[in-house]
Amino acid sequence: MKAVANAVGLKQTALRDHFWTPYQELVTGTVLPYQEKILNDEIPEAEKSHALANFRIAAGMEEGEFYGMVFQDSDVAKWLEAAAYSLSVHPDAELERRVDEVISIVEKAQQPDGYLDTYFIIKEPEHRWKNLLEGHELYCMGHMMEAAAAYYEATGKTSLLGVAERMTDQIASVFGEGKRFGIPGHEEVEVGLMRMYAVTGQEKYRDLAAYFVNARGTRPEFYVQERDARDFQVFGMDPNERDYNQTYAPVREQTEARGHAVRAVYLYRAMADVAAALGDESLYRACKVLWNDIVTKKMYVTGAIGACGNLESFSKAYDLPPDRAYAETCAQVGMVFWAKSMLDIEARGEYADVMELCLYNSTISGMQLDGKHFFYVNPLEVNPGFSGEIFGMRHVLPERPGWYQCACCPPNLARMILSLGKYCWSESADTIYAHLMIGQKASLSLADIEVESAYPWEGSVSYKVTPKKDASFTLAIHIPGYVGAKDLNVTCSGERQKPAIKDGYLYLNRTWEAGDEVSLQFPLKVRRLYASARVLAAAGQTALMRGPIVYCFEGVDNGGQLQALALPRSAQIRTVKETEGILKGCVSLAMTGLRDEDEEALYRDEPPACREAALKAIPYCLWGNRGLNQMRVWIREQR
């Protein structure tokens, strides 16, 4: 097996997009400074972090005790990674100076043998590497590797990369072929190692990543034996819960996505990256089996995964309750990362469609438009008074909090948004693959391409191509699955082209001249989606989409009691361009629906009276920005 293309570096792209540029500006201008203050405990009303203080204590720079979750270090690592991407898209000397200060603290905290985990350095140094099930050492170090790779790519500075290299050598001195057997309880180090391999070219990092991937599930009793050999615990996790951490079978024999959703997709991304690097057909086949299980049986209409609040996990096939969804932001971010890794192996529209679905819906729904409030859980239905309060729904908060103790999601979202340029392209020796219709300038090996995009609100995108060396190459543009070939209008420098679409990509093979422009036009129709009859919670209901955007109904627009609303199958749905307020610039949907009259009696013999009602739906990603109110994606449909 040979991967079809190579990844494109973030510095090769510069987003100029009416939808995504404001998000990047929000992250660089508000989110990163706010999170930096959080990490330094400078926001009194927010949940205490103490994450940077933990590093200073471990470095001997101040006195104190470790505070926070066992994986608190990862918040700093992800902030460093996001800051590196910020410097790539928006150079800022002052931010770079502050990042260098944090890196110097991290360097001082690292132990002489390369070990780096503040929980065990400060609190339990005698227990290093003795609790892989719960300790999160490899998880935290994996995130620091990703930060190191990103910062090296952004600045060329090697200080954090040196930390990561020493740390990785320490891991390799303990684990690997012919050494001690071990696998991380929370997958992530595999991803970090592959990022280290990508920036250094050193095969030892790739090989150690492959070891951790291939070892998983080969010794089912490992965590039980580990527990029996130690005299301490962190969370008291059950080592027999093999689904939870994907150890129920060797990775090539796993046919279902099980357990903790974030752990799972981090593993699957690493599997894809290792498969691409080693040309491992069997590993890629395993990825495809797991991908198919998720997208055909376990994915919400928003692209969200992880339906079960118990253990933050996948549930059984077709169990997708909207009001009890877990749908952790990190899981959706992980799906974006995994989808891109799959695209680098094989350009298939199904991967790009899911990446797009998650990007425009279930990831950015995790952040308020003020950049200071964040969801951990992204439900498809919220009912104040029930959500966040009653048993089984306490995890479903109706409003985004400012911060929380387990704060993995906010910096994860920040690093995804700022690194978005990397997910737009792949490139081989003779083909450029354009995966996302995002406005930008891209400097690729074969050509410079300027993308002008009205997407996702309008179906209009153009690509201005300036070839570099060899002017004969192929431009392959992802065409979303909802766009039919008959509806697609393609012109190249004004000449109409007959679309040649294969596996969801439009292939244009020609000898390019400077200034050649490919223009795509396609209608964005409002679509009604219906779930399989096996999805109990969506029976008799419909969801609305236009382009890649999933829509939802909020009480603030529809008078509350959203469960009393119905949408006739014959109802016409109109698009409305919002011109003011927090929704300014987006396209909302207007329609005439029905409302059941509210009755005081708990039960009655006759059906409720029904009247017409003006209904409005807004993009799901924007819900929760106008105060506490109801929200739902699925609405009853009346035939």
- CA 205 to chain centroid: 24
Catalogue the active-site residues.
312, 408
Query: Three-state SS for 492?
Result: strand
What DSSP element (H or E) covers 148?
Answer: helix 137-155
Neighbours of 282 (CB within 10 A): 11
In what helix (H) or strand (E) does residue 81 lie, and over which residues does it extend? helix 73-89
Which of 514, 398, 348 has its CA nearest to residue 5?
Answer: 348
CA distance 366 to 410: 8
SS3 of residue 162 by DSSP? helix
- Are 154 and 88 in contact by the 8 Å Cβ rule? The answer is yes
How far apart, in Å, are the Cα atoms of 522 and each of 97, 495, 504, 572, 637?
A: 46, 16, 15, 20, 28
Contacts 24+ apart (CB under 8 A), 325-328: 325/300, 325/377, 325/378, 325/379, 325/380, 325/381, 325/396, 326/261, 326/377, 326/395, 327/300, 327/302, 327/362, 327/377, 327/378, 327/379, 327/380, 328/261, 328/262, 328/376, 328/377, 328/378, 328/409
Q: Left if phi > 0, otherwise alpha if psi is -120 to 50, otherwise beta: which for 176?
A: left
Query: Phi/psi of residue 16, each to 5°?
Result: -140, 75
